[in-house]
Amino acid sequence: MLIDAVSRIGSIRKAAEDMNITSSALNRRIQNFEEEFGAPIFERLPRGVRLNPAGELLIQHIRGHTADLERVRSQVADLSGLRRGHVSIACSQAMQPYFMPRHIASYRAEHPGVTFAVNVRDRDAAEDDLRSYRCDLALVFEPTHLSDFDVILSVEQPVYAVMARSHPLAQKRELRLRDCLRFPSVVPPPAIGIRYLLDLAVGRMTQKLSSTIEADSFEFMRHYVKNEMAVGFQFPVGLNIGKDDSLAFRPLLKRDVAYGRLSLLQMKGRTLPVASARFANQLALALQNLPPEE
């Protein structure tokens, strides 16, 4: 635990403050461990420490062992009928406002002893959380390193244009990307999956994506387009289609913008704790049954 804390923070002094011990005492413990281990695990830097290659191997072992222990604890609790446990999930922000709250509440209605940690992450950060065992599951768009993970389920989502109900494009029944590019755009940064798809699509066109506003918040985008004749972009699972009279939502044709892959992932070869495995099954079933507009 000490080694994991120091590796995450990158500073012996700051880690010691969090643990309420002196930095010299923590440093001695690490040095004693390194002597017993037979090799140094940290590289000392002018402003902190970082794991060396031996330390990286060790921390993966420690985190894997901790995850296995949690899995066994959850199995023991399940045997007793208590249905307790903890589920940690990293997800794209599109999943945050509607999809994830609905399904966590549904799960806890049957298993109130299970707690959750939900962390909104872009696809790269979510993958890092899986690798470091900071989360059990990840639900993200357009994952980049699929070979590192087991894909529990992957489904496609169209890209939607989002605009004020009074926007001229709101009257069109069939919307092309080139139509949207005539107006100011509110787009996420490149690390977000939907921006990756937009950049690919625009790269094949003579027109360019005029990112008038770049924001890492889809909530900001939904509010901003009410204030200017701008167009935002979102996946339907992150929208409240049919329940927001101030906004219009129009799908873009697949031949203009490729559909996004929404993937439910876990670390390759890892056996999940009971609570996380059951929640993964619930999510997979829900994703398979998403209606077309979601």
- Residue 158 identity (one-letter amino acid): P
Rounded to the nearest angstrom, the gap between the alpha carbon of residue 94 and the centroid of all alpha carbons in its chain is 9
81 and 202: one domain?
no
Q: What CATH number does the domain containing 27 carry?
A: 1.10.10.10
- Residue 234 identity (one-letter amino acid): Q
146 and 166: one domain?
no
* pLDDT greater at residue 87 or residue 68: 87
265 and 254: one domain?
no
Average pLDDT over residues 263-292: 90
- Position 92 scores a pLDDT of 93
210 and 284: one domain?
no
266 and 152: one domain?
yes
277 and 132: one domain?
yes
131 and 275: one domain?
yes
Q: Tell me the HSE value of 141 on the side-chain side, using a 13 A CA sphere.
A: 27
Q: What rounded mean pLDDT belongs to the chain? A: 87
Q: What is the distance between the alpha carbons of residues 2 and 121, in angstroms, rounded to a whole number?
A: 26
- Position 101 scores a pLDDT of 96
Query: H or E stretch including 48?
Result: strand 48-51
Q: What is the distance between the alpha carbons of residues 42 and 47, in angstroms, rounded to a whole number?
A: 13
Look at the chain and report how many structural domains it folds into: 3
Q: What is the distance between the alpha carbons of residues 237 and 286, in angstroms, rounded to a whole number?
A: 11
Q: Which residue segment(s) compose the domain that 39 sits in?
A: 2-51
Average pLDDT over residues 198-219: 87
138 and 284: one domain?
yes
- Position 16 scores a pLDDT of 78
Rounded to the nearest angstrom, the gap between the alpha carbon of residue 14 and the centroid of all alpha carbons in its chain is 27
Q: What CATH number does the domain containing 210 carry?
A: 3.40.190.10
Q: What percent of the chain has pLDDT over 90?
A: 54
- Position 58 scores a pLDDT of 79
Both tokens of 232, joined, read 């935002």
Average pLDDT over residues 111-116: 91
Residue-wise pLDDT for 171-194, tens only, equals: 888 899 999 999 999 999 988 999
Asked if the model's pLDDT at residue 71 lies above 70, the reply is: no
Is residue 236 within 8 A of residue 157, CB to CB? The reply is yes
Residue-wise pLDDT for 21-54, tens only, equals: 888 888 888 888 888 888 888 888 878 888 888 8
* pLDDT greater at residue 49 or residue 140: 140
- Position 247 scores a pLDDT of 94
103 and 149: one domain?
yes
245 and 268: one domain?
no
281 inside domain: yes
Is residue 25 within 8 A of residue 6, CB to CB? The reply is no
Asked if the model's pLDDT at residue 10 lies above 90, the reply is: no
- The 185-187 sheet, strands edge to edge: 213-214, 185-187, 231-234, 160-164, 247-251
163 and 197: one domain?
yes
Q: How many DSSP H helices and E strands does the chain contain? A: 10, 12
pLDDT band at 82 (very low <50, low <70, confident <90, very high): very low
Q: Could you give phi then psi for residue 253, rounded to 5 degrees?
A: -65, 140
Both tokens of 110, joined, read 């049957």
Is residue 239 within 8 A of residue 93, CB to CB? The reply is no
